[in-house]
Amino acid sequence: MRTIEVRGLRKEYRIPEKEPGLAGTVKHFIRPRYRAKPALAGIDLDIEPGESVGYLGSNGAGKSTTIKILTGLLSPTDGYVRVNGFDPHRERKRHVREIGAVFGHRTGLWWDLPVIDSFKTLSSMYRIPDATYRANLKLFTELLELEEFLSVPVRQLSLGQRMRADLAAALLHDPKLIFLDEPTGGLDVNSKVAVRQFIRHLNQQQGTTIFLTSHDMADIEGMCNRLIILDRGSAVLDEDIDKAKHRLAADRRLVVTVSDTEDVAEVARTVHNASGLTCTMLDRQRLSCEFGRTEATAAHLVGVIMRAHEIVDFELREPTLEQMVRRLFQQPPPSPPPAEVRSR
Ligand SMILES: Nc1ncnc2c1ncn2[C@@H]1O[C@H](COP(=O)(O)OP(=O)(O)OP(=O)(O)O)[C@@H](O)[C@H]1O
């Protein structure tokens, strides 16, 4: 059984269209009018057990809407959704026992209770067997370094401490699947690293399936194997991260530093004659050659230069995932689905 199976998922929010003033309120009460605002325009997803998926997109692309539907908080307008075999909205009670969810911007813990009391409350709510609770508490306390603040009320925690406590809380009941919505937003570098390592550990050692949204590309690269990119409610890319990098990384950059006895313009000519590439002169000793993976290899270009000139240093620069995604979005976007005006 697939962990997540989604076909043709659509979501439209209904936005009241009300004229201003009292007359508008009365009119809306008698004959309400709504505008449909499309958020998801027909998404298909197949996620297998043990995958680690990064769900990426610009603001308003529909990431949170997807997570809310997959966790059962929202019902879809249309489409087929199964998570661990459950219809998340209709079978919500059984569904939530099998998943964990962490929403970076809000806590799932009780604000006034010490962390450990929140954990105990969750343990009885989820009817977690005592042995499982104790084993998980021990493991998470070690991995997330919770010891120093287990007895501190949640309201007194720093953001990084709260996030670590939230992660542990979401996993005490041993869910097979965890949803993470912006889990590192606002955290400092050390806390980000701790969270990333913990999620990686869960995925690799315990086989927990990860579904993660983040604006931080390092999160996606650090925690995920598969990348799904959403744009205006449609998935525009769904690929293994390394393959996506390979495919989108059309241009690599070789920066060569030649000896000060060399003429950089001459070096550029050598490269052009041998490969047809046009290099850019960066300064009196350095030149930069951009090339597609199918056009040339760095080893070939370095060899061509070395046969005729003296090289002091060279560096191959791969584009980051962030640059590649930016490039993907520079392509013309698909036209958005039409908004309708409806009355109830
Ligand atoms: N409760 C709501 N009522 C009306 N429209 C909504 C509601 N929630 C979201 N939307 C709209 O649906 C679209 C998708 O929003 P969503 O929050 O899912 O995007 P997102 O990718 O999570 O964005 P962000 O990165 O900013 O969190 C946006 O156009 C948003 O304005």
Each residue of 182-197: pLDDT tens digit? Answer: 888 778 888 888 889 9
φ, ψ for residue 297, nearest 5 deg:
-120, 155
Q: Does domain 250-318 have CATH number 3.30.70.1650?
A: yes
Q: Which ranges in the chain are annotated with CATH 3.30.70.1650? A: 250-318
Give the range among 136-140, 170-174, 234-238, 302-306 with minimum mean pLDDT: 234-238
Planar angle of CA 255, 248, 38, nearest 5 degrees: 140
Residues 15-56 pLDDT 10s:
888 778 888 888 878 888 888 899 999 999 999 999 999 998
- According to DSSP, the residues that pair with 282 across neighbouring strands are none
Cite the DSSP H helix spans in the chain.
21-30, 63-70, 92-98, 115-125, 130-144, 159-171, 189-206, 217-223, 241-248, 264-275, 298-308, 321-330
Atom of ligand 1 nearest to the CA of 62: 18
What is the CA 146 to chain-centroid distance, rounded?
25
User: What gap in Å lies between CA 288 and CA 297, rounded to an integer?
Assistant: 14
Residues 293-312 pLDDT 10s:
777 888 899 999 999 999 99
User: What gap in Å lies between CA 292 and CA 275, rounded to an integer?
Assistant: 12
Nearest CA to ligand 1 atom 6: 13
pTM over 0.80: no
More confident residue, 181 or 341: 181
Give the range among 2-11, 142-151, 322-331 with minimum mean pLDDT: 322-331
Q: What is the ipTM of this complex?
A: 0.97
Residue 335 scores a pLDDT above 90: no
Q: How confident is the model at residue 27, as a pLDDT? A: 82
State which of 3-17, 233-247, 321-335 shows the largest mean pLDDT: 3-17
Give the range among 154-168, 212-226, 266-280 with minimum mean pLDDT: 212-226
How many helices (H) and strands (E) would you count in the chain?
A: 12, 14
Residue 210 scores a pLDDT above 70: yes
- According to DSSP, the residues that pair with 153 across neighbouring strands are 114
Longest dimension (CA), the chain: 86
More confident residue, 150 or 237: 150
Confidence at 319, pLDDT banded by 50, 70, 90:
low
Which of the listed residues 15, 63, 75 should we mutate to test ligand 1's pocket, taking the one with most ligand atoms within 8 A of CB?
A: 63
User: What gap in Å lies between CA 99 and CA 181, rounded to an integer?
Assistant: 14
CB of 217 closer than 8 Å to CB of 237: no
Please give the torsion angle defined by the CA atoms of residues 130, 132, 133 and 134, in that order, rounded to the nearest 10 degrees: 90
Which of the listed residues 56, 65, 236 should we mutate to test ligand 1's pocket, taking the one with most ligand atoms within 8 A of CB?
A: 65
Q: Which ranges in the chain are annotated with CATH 3.40.50.300? A: 48-246
Confidence at 104, pLDDT banded by 50, 70, 90:
confident
Ligand 1 mean position, distance from CA 148 (Å) = 37
Confidence at 334, pLDDT banded by 50, 70, 90:
very low
Q: How confident is the model at residue 183, as a pLDDT? A: 86
Ligand 1 mean position, distance from CA 40 (Å) = 10
| Nearest Cα to Cα of residue 208 among 38, 84, 22 | 84
Q: What is the CATH number of domain 48-246?
A: 3.40.50.300
Q: Show the ligand 1 pocket: residues with CB < 6 angstroms.
A: 13, 15, 37, 39, 57, 59-65
